[in-house]
A = this chain, B = another copy of it.
């Protein structure tokens, strides 16, 4: 079967943008959200077949696929609720970390496949949701249940213009720990460091600094969850990063011109090779 109706739990930036994309492709979209003002905004957008704040009413709509689009900790709570209600329909999610979510879904015996759309904005909520957020973006799948219709889930995302890739949940958390979670810690710390060392410097920032720290303007709920959920990997990455910073400090203190030049040349060359 191909999914013809999608029930989205959580109508924020990601859930709202998926709803827009699926609606554009002619699918029936149902929405569940606990926030009255979000439901009111979503109703005005004219995307949903039905909207509710009640999980039982939502499940009665019998969507072909349940798509959980809330932060990591809330995702785990939803998985437990769905399991408690005896849901057997396919379930997927869009949370930013995958190991603990997939482990829990496995323990609960849900018909689950993890997912993570690599897309976002520095604003959140349904009002921030847009058409085209996922155009040409990568969607990572981290399979769990054996009988899950993975090909249909792949086709669903390819149908809205995404590039689907499959990996284990642990691999996902190392990859995105490296290129997303660690960079966020470094951006938060950088803003803190400047604020501590020379706050007036912020008034001289140009495009470079603004680009560099753009990701520091992130949603606190989402990122608290990510750091706490992917804690072991993030801690290991911070340790690796601190060791490298210490060696920069040493090379500068030693005036080791040759080594500094070589390190910049190498980092610059790696960075240039990123498409």
Which residue of B183, B235, B245 is within 8 Å of A242 (Cβ)?
B245
User: B201–A244 contact, CB under 8 A?
Assistant: no
User: B215–A212 contact, CB under 8 A?
Assistant: yes
Kindly list chain B residues whose C-beta atoms are within 8 Å of the C-beta of A120.
208
A135 located at the interface, meaning its Cβ lies under 8 Å from any Cβ of chain B in the complex: no
Which residue of B138, B253, B265 is within 8 Å of A231 (Cβ)?
B253
Interface string of A58-95 (1 = CB under 8 A from B): 00000000000000000000000000000000000000
Q: Name the 3 nearest CB pairs between A and B, nearest first.
A: A220-B264, A216-B271, A188-B267
Kindly list chain B residues whose C-beta atoms are within 8 Å of the C-beta of A272.
217
Known: A120-B208, A217-B272, A228-B255. 19 other contacts (CB 8 A): A138-B206, A175-B200, A179-B209, A183-B190, A183-B212, A186-B190, A187-B212, A187-B267, A188-B264, A191-B271, A197-B236, A197-B240, A202-B270, A213-B274, A218-B264, A224-B257, A239-B249, A242-B245, A245-B245
A131 located at the interface, meaning its Cβ lies under 8 Å from any Cβ of chain B in the complex: no
User: B268–A217 contact, CB under 8 A?
Assistant: yes
A252 located at the interface, meaning its Cβ lies under 8 Å from any Cβ of chain B in the complex: yes
User: A268–B216 contact, CB under 8 A?
Assistant: yes
A176 located at the interface, meaning its Cβ lies under 8 Å from any Cβ of chain B in the complex: yes
Give A256's nearest chain B residue, CB to CB: B228
User: A224–B188 contact, CB under 8 A?
Assistant: no
- For window 102-142 of A, CB contacts with B under 8 Å fall at 118-120, 137-138, 140
Known: A216-B267, A218-B268. A260 touches B197 (CB 8 A): no
- For window 154-206 of A, CB contacts with B under 8 Å fall at 165, 174-180, 182-183, 185-198, 200-202, 204-206
Contact sample, A vs B, 21 pairs, CB 8 Å cutoff: A178-B197, A183-B213, A185-B248, A189-B241, A192-B266, A193-B237, A196-B244, A205-B274, A211-B211, A211-B212, A212-B212, A212-B215, A217-B268, A217-B272, A219-B268, A223-B264, A224-B257, A228-B257, A235-B249, A238-B252, A242-B245
Kindly list chain B residues whose C-beta atoms are within 8 Å of the C-beta of A255.
228, 231
Chain B nearest Cβ from A236, distance in angstroms = 7
User: B214–A211 contact, CB under 8 A?
Assistant: yes
Chain B nearest Cβ from A155, distance in angstroms = 21
A11 located at the interface, meaning its Cβ lies under 8 Å from any Cβ of chain B in the complex: no
- Separation of A118 and B204 alpha carbons in the complex (Å): 9
User: B201–A179 contact, CB under 8 A?
Assistant: yes
User: B268–A202 contact, CB under 8 A?
Assistant: no
